[in-house]
Chains A and B, each alone.
Chain A
Amino acid sequence: MKHYVRYLGQGFCYLLFIAFLGYFSGSPSYTHVPADKALIKFSFTHPGKRLVACVTQTRAQLQKLSPQLRYGKKCPRERSPLLVEFAMDGKVIYNAKVQPRGLSKDLPSPVYQRFIVPAGEHRFRVRMQDDIRKPGYPYFAKKKIKLKKLQTLVIDFNNVRKQFVFE
């Protein structure tokens, strides 16, 4: 084969290569949240109440233990799961019993949920119970918000003030 045909062929292959590289390095673009929608991130972490209260150990019980384990109180570490509910425009869109993290279930329970919703005005209601043994939802919030297109609304829980925050 003539030299110049080989070079032309090679040039064509390089062109194909860069066309492929150039195109797929940024196109087609990806849309997860359509332009007329908004994104809600409902996320917080909160430690549930301890399921078993600490018990004071008797002297006899302590005597049976080796010296380095002789604590006055015995505190089982397991925490209660959280009962969480999230409603938008009167409809419950998330309702879950969220287990605590950790091998001994002694860490906070994490919540991280995403919802793509139409932009515009919505009524939100969130509530949470952190003690499975009790009825009702001690933590509660209601809010009406007008969401802009592509806005990300974060609904969090402030563990210091013990209330839900809409940001």
Chain B
Amino acid sequence: MPDLKSRTGWMAPVELCRHILQALEARLNVFFGAVNPFYHLGDLGFYFFYIMVITGTVLFFYYEPTVAGSFDQLDYLSREQWYFGGVLRSLHRYAADGMVLTVALHILREMLLGHFRGARWFSWITGVPLLVMVYLSGILGFWLVWNKLGQFIAVRTAEFLDWLPIFASPMARNFLHNSDVTNLLFRLLIVMHISIPLLLLLFMLLHVKRVSKARVMPPASLANGTLVALLLLSLFRPVLSGERADLATASNNVPIDWFYFFPYPLIHSWPMAVLWTLLAGGTLFLLLLPWLSRPPKRAVASVHLEDCSGCGYCVEDCPYEAIVMRERSVQHPRFSYEANVLEDMCVHCGICTGSCPSSNPFRRRISYSAGKETLHSGIEMPQHNIDALRSDILQKLGSLTAAKPILLFGCQHGVALGPFGDDDVAPVSLPCIGMLSPAFIEFALRKGAAGLLVSGCRQGDCYHRLGDQWLRERLSRQRVPLLHRTVDSSRIACCWQAASDTTQMHKEIDRLRIRLHQIIEN
């Protein structure tokens, strides 16, 4: 269990929910590993959207935007052409349901993990209109079928909007008699049902604009599994139209799609003022959330021109698109470019330091400006510079008296390292494990560490999105800067766990102890 006592006020339930979420994700990890659907909720949202666009385009050619035709055509597809048109229709509907479900979980997850803070405000804020557009597109889609559910939605939506004193005549008066509903309405609806999703796509692209290497397509296995699952559902529980809309008969026993219309039954049970207050208050809360809990302002990454060769690795690795390459401000005989940090977008994760080839503790040298021997990386966090990291490693190693000292590297978002300190284990904490350049691993081993345990957030779920992935790729010598060939990889262990998984960390430390014992004895 998380240490709830240490959290006070409103943070305790948030912490508890986060713990429940992570426990659930741990169960799914057993079967899915890094393709855990909970780590891919955003890309699944995109995927469901693609399915809707493809199936919707085909359905459009069958659809007749008239009062009678809308129902007849879709009903015909489901009954007479169930094997193709019917399946497409069901896929369209279930993908729409899937999208609402994944988007709801996506918001919940991003909120619980605090992903609305700092530079992430942009993705958060642009997400809010997405929610509105997903919902609007859905309402229009259900309306288009003009069955009993369509009737229920049309009338309730109009009644809900009528609470606002902006219409001269109540909107709901457009649905008093069957003769009030005209073909023109359906033409308008279909145009809106196409244009709002197009706008949605634009906003979806804007939403991931500041997310570097954003995943807009789930991994193949997840995409295929989801498609097969939706196809099976469409075949075994095809979407049917039910009864035709008839405004002369009251809606009764309406097969509501609860993913979209869960609040609709409240429209005549709760006072409208309460519903509108909840809607407006909820939206305002979402919009203000990034500013309700601002993280303390910290210095952003700074570039040391003397050490920056303009290689561009930091630009490639930054998960927040916070670094750009510009022409060198001071001429250099060999290098043409230098890294520039976009202050508003930097979240001080330190991943750029991990990617910089000059983040090398072996190249300590005299800084003439400081007048003493110091170490700088081409790009680094002022509050977590590599000189301090180097000193920390040396000091920790000096403090360990055991014969086989182990350094435990970890990040601020995975398992807290403090409690693991022991006679033979010393923790070294970093903002993100992606900050650990392989040269520091080599350095720690050369300076006396018998082994190293590198830990970070669960695989595929790095708080800074890519930190763990970059380090794993460096350790396996697939990503620059590479771990030097001479380093004995068997002395390095990894543990990728969420903050609450302390047991696993204990196990990994014990396993490493045994392994080091075997290596050294042999």
Determine if B250 and A33 form an interchain contact, defined as CB atoms under 8 angstroms apart: yes
Q: In chain A, what residue has the closest Cβ to B35?
A: A10
Q: In chain A, what residue has the closest Cβ to B175?
A: A41
Given contacts A25-B97, A29-B256, A30-B265, contact A13 B172 (CB under 8 A): no
Residues of B within 8 A of A135 (CB): none
Asked if B162 lies at the interface with its beta carbon under 8 angstroms from chain A, I say yes
Our count of residue pairs bridging A and B at CB distance below 8 angstroms stands at: 120
Determine if A29 and B31 form an interchain contact, defined as CB atoms under 8 angstroms apart: no
Taken together as a complex, chains A and B put the C-alpha atoms of A152 and B225 apart, in Å, by: 46
Determine if A29 and B255 form an interchain contact, defined as CB atoms under 8 angstroms apart: yes
Main secondary structure of the interface of A (DSSP, over half): mixed
Task: Please give the distance in Å from A89's CB to the nearest CB on chain B.
Answer: 20
Residues of B within 8 A of A31 (CB): 252-254
Asked if A9 lies at the interface with its beta carbon under 8 angstroms from chain B, I say yes
Q: In chain B, what residue has the closest Cβ to A103?
A: B165
Within 8 A of B (CB), among A22-37: 22, 24-27, 29-35, 37
Task: Please give the distance in Å from A107's CB to the nearest CB on chain B.
Answer: 5
Residues of B within 8 A of A102 (CB): 168
Asked if A6 lies at the interface with its beta carbon under 8 angstroms from chain B, I say yes
Asked if A114 lies at the interface with its beta carbon under 8 angstroms from chain B, I say yes
Determine if A26 and B256 form an interchain contact, defined as CB atoms under 8 angstroms apart: yes
Within 8 A of A (CB), among B145-188: 152, 159, 162, 165, 167-170, 172-173, 176-177
In-complex Cβ contact of A156 among B176, B250, B264 (8 A) = B176
Determine if A13 and B32 form an interchain contact, defined as CB atoms under 8 angstroms apart: yes
Asked if A65 lies at the interface with its beta carbon under 8 angstroms from chain B, I say no
Among listed B108-116, B227-235, B301-309, B325-333, interface-contacting one: B227-235
Determine if A43 and B172 form an interchain contact, defined as CB atoms under 8 angstroms apart: yes
Determine if A112 and B249 form an interchain contact, defined as CB atoms under 8 angstroms apart: no
Asked if A60 lies at the interface with its beta carbon under 8 angstroms from chain B, I say no
Residues of B within 8 A of A48 (CB): none
Determine if B230 and A151 form an interchain contact, defined as CB atoms under 8 angstroms apart: no
Determine if B253 and A29 form an interchain contact, defined as CB atoms under 8 angstroms apart: yes
Asked if B403 lies at the interface with its beta carbon under 8 angstroms from chain A, I say no
Determine if B252 and A33 form an interchain contact, defined as CB atoms under 8 angstroms apart: yes
Taken together as a complex, chains A and B put the C-alpha atoms of A140 and B30 apart, in Å, by: 73
Taken together as a complex, chains A and B put the C-alpha atoms of A4 and B72 apart, in Å, by: 46
Main secondary structure of the interface of B (DSSP, over half): helix
Determine if B229 and A38 form an interchain contact, defined as CB atoms under 8 angstroms apart: no
Asked if B440 lies at the interface with its beta carbon under 8 angstroms from chain A, I say no
Given contacts A21-B233, A26-B257, contact A6 B168 (CB under 8 A): no
Determine if B251 and A154 form an interchain contact, defined as CB atoms under 8 angstroms apart: no
In-complex Cβ contact of B229 among A14, A33, A37, A110 (8 A) = A14
Task: Please give the distance in Å from A46's CB to the nearest CB on chain B.
Answer: 10
Asked if B46 lies at the interface with its beta carbon under 8 angstroms from chain A, I say no
Residues of B within 8 A of A108 (CB): 168-169
Asked if B94 lies at the interface with its beta carbon under 8 angstroms from chain A, I say yes
Given contacts A25-B257, A32-B265, A112-B173, contact A152 B249 (CB under 8 A): yes
Residues of B within 8 A of A26 (CB): 239, 255-257
Contact indicator per residue, chain B 94-112, by CB within 8 Å of chain A (1) or not (0):
1001100100000000000
Determine if B268 and A21 form an interchain contact, defined as CB atoms under 8 angstroms apart: no
Asked if B28 lies at the interface with its beta carbon under 8 angstroms from chain A, I say yes
Contact indicator per residue, chain A 41-57, by CB within 8 Å of chain B (1) or not (0):
10101000000000000
In-complex Cβ contact of B252 among A13, A17, A32, A107 (8 A) = A32
Taken together as a complex, chains A and B put the C-alpha atoms of A39 and B175 apart, in Å, by: 14
In-complex Cβ contact of B251 among A33, A41, A112 (8 A) = A33
In-complex Cβ contact of A45 among B31, B173, B232 (8 A) = B173
Asked if B520 lies at the interface with its beta carbon under 8 angstroms from chain A, I say no
Residues of B within 8 A of A93 (CB): none
In-complex Cβ contact of A38 among B30, B250, B259, B268 (8 A) = B250
Q: Which of B101, B162, B252 has the most CB of A within 10 A?
A: B252
Given contacts A101-B165, A108-B169, contact A29 B254 (CB under 8 A): yes
Taken together as a complex, chains A and B put the C-alpha atoms of A88 and B28 apart, in Å, by: 59
Taken together as a complex, chains A and B put the C-alpha atoms of A112 and B31 apart, in Å, by: 55
Determine if B94 and A21 form an interchain contact, defined as CB atoms under 8 angstroms apart: yes
Taken together as a complex, chains A and B put the C-alpha atoms of A114 and B172 apart, in Å, by: 11
Within 8 A of B (CB), among A87-108: 101-102, 107-108
Residues of B within 8 A of A17 (CB): 229
Determine if A30 and B256 form an interchain contact, defined as CB atoms under 8 angstroms apart: yes
State the 3 A-B residue pairs at the shortest beta-carbon distance, nearest first.
A9-B31, A33-B250, A39-B250
Can you name 11 extra interface pairs (CB under 8 A) apart from A21-B98, A33-B252? Answer: A6-B30, A9-B30, A10-B32, A12-B31, A18-B232, A24-B257, A27-B255, A30-B265, A101-B168, A112-B159, A112-B173
Residues of chain A at the chain B interface (Cβ within 8 Å)? 1, 6, 9-10, 12-15, 17-18, 20-22, 24-27, 29-35, 37-39, 41, 43, 45, 101-102, 107-108, 110, 112, 114, 150-152, 154, 156, 167
Q: List 26 A-B contacts (CB under 8 A).
A: A1-B30, A9-B30, A10-B31, A13-B28, A14-B229, A15-B229, A18-B94, A21-B94, A22-B94, A22-B236, A25-B93, A25-B94, A29-B253, A29-B256, A30-B254, A30-B256, A31-B253, A32-B252, A43-B170, A43-B172, A45-B169, A108-B168, A110-B169, A112-B173, A150-B252, A152-B248
